[in-house]
A and B are shown apart, each in its own frame.
Chain A
Amino acid sequence: MLSKKNKEILLGPLSKNNPVIVQILGICSALAVTAKLEPALVMAVSVTAVVAFANVIISLLRNTIPNSIRIIVQLVVVAALVIIVDQVLKAYMYQVSKQLSVFVGLIITNCILMGRLEAFALSHKPWESFLDGIGNGVGYGIILVIVAFFRELLGSGTLFGYQVIPQQMYDWGYQNNGLMILPPMALITVACIIWVHRSRNKDLQQ
Chain B
Amino acid sequence: MENLNLFVKSIFIDNMIFAYFLGMCSYLAVSKNVKTAFGLGIAVTFVLAITLPVNYLLETYVLKAGALKWLGPEYAQLDLSFLSLIMFIAIIASMVQLVEMFVEKYSPSLYASLGIFLPLIAVNCAILGGSLFMQQRNFPSVGSATVYGIGSGIGWLLAIVCLAAIREKLSYSNIPAPLRGIGITFIITGLMGIAFMSFLGIKL
* Residues of chain A having any CB pair with chain B under 8 Å: 24-29, 31-32, 71-72, 75-76, 79-80, 82-83, 86-87, 101-102, 105-106, 108-111, 114, 182-188, 190-191, 194-199, 205-206
CA distance A102 to B85 in the complex (A): 10
The smallest C-beta distance from B27 to any residue of chain A, in angstroms, reads: 8
A residues within 8 A CB of B24?
27-28, 31
The smallest C-beta distance from B153 to any residue of chain A, in angstroms, reads: 16
B123/A105 in contact, CB under 8 A: no
8 Å CB contact of A28 from B21, B189, B191: B21
Q: Is B204 an interface residue (CB 8 A)?
A: no
Chain B 68-95 near chain A by CB (<8 Å), digits 1 or 0? 0000000000000011011001100100
A195/B128 in contact, CB under 8 A: no
B93/A72 in contact, CB under 8 A: yes
B18/A76 in contact, CB under 8 A: no
A205/B129 in contact, CB under 8 A: no
Chain B 108-146 near chain A by CB (<8 Å), digits 1 or 0? 000000000001101111011100110010000000000
Interface residues of B in 16-65 (CB under 8 A from A): 18-25, 28-29
CA distance A71 to B123 in the complex (A): 10
B28/A27 in contact, CB under 8 A: yes
* Residues of chain B having any CB pair with chain A under 8 Å: 18-25, 28-29, 82-83, 85-86, 89-90, 93, 119-120, 122-125, 127-129, 132-133, 136, 176-184, 186-187, 189-191, 193-194, 197
A79/B85 in contact, CB under 8 A: yes
A sample of 24 cross-chain residue pairs with beta-carbon separation below 8 angstroms, ordered by A number, consists of A24-B25, A24-B29, A25-B25, A27-B21, A27-B25, A75-B89, A79-B86, A83-B83, A83-B85, A105-B85, A106-B125, A108-B128, A109-B123, A184-B191, A186-B21, A187-B189, A187-B190, A190-B186, A191-B179, A191-B186, A194-B182, A194-B183, A195-B179, A205-B178
Who on chain B is nearest to A201 by CB? Answer: B178
B residues within 8 A CB of A108?
85, 89, 123, 128
8 Å CB contact of A206 from B90, B180, B187: B180
The smallest C-beta distance from B49 to any residue of chain A, in angstroms, reads: 18
B193/A183 in contact, CB under 8 A: yes
A106/B177 in contact, CB under 8 A: no
The smallest C-beta distance from A43 to any residue of chain B, in angstroms, reads: 13
Who on chain A is nearest to B28 by CB? Answer: A24
8 Å CB contact of A188 from B19, B136, B186: B186
CA distance A31 to B16 in the complex (A): 13
18 further A-B contacts with Cβ under 8 Å, apart from A83-B86, A109-B128, are: A24-B182, A26-B25, A27-B21, A27-B24, A27-B28, A75-B123, A86-B82, A86-B85, A106-B22, A110-B125, A184-B191, A184-B193, A187-B21, A187-B186, A187-B189, A191-B187, A194-B186, A195-B178
Who on chain B is nearest to A106 by CB? Answer: B125
CA distance A112 to B155 in the complex (A): 25
Q: Is the interface of A mostly helix, strand, loop or mixed?
A: helix
Who on chain A is nearest to B194 by CB? Answer: A184
The smallest C-beta distance from A147 to any residue of chain B, in angstroms, reads: 11
A102/B132 in contact, CB under 8 A: yes
A198/B21 in contact, CB under 8 A: no
CA distance A188 to B187 in the complex (A): 5
B residues within 8 A CB of A102?
129, 132-133, 136
B119/A194 in contact, CB under 8 A: no
A residues within 8 A CB of B183?
191, 194-195, 198
B residues within 8 A CB of A111?
25, 123
CA distance A195 to B89 in the complex (A): 35
Who on chain A is nearest to B134 by CB? Answer: A102
Once A71-B122, A109-B128, A183-B193 are accepted as A-B contacts, the answer to whether A199 and B23 lie under 8 Å apart by CB is no
Who on chain A is nearest to B20 by CB? Answer: A32
B residues within 8 A CB of A206?
177, 180-181
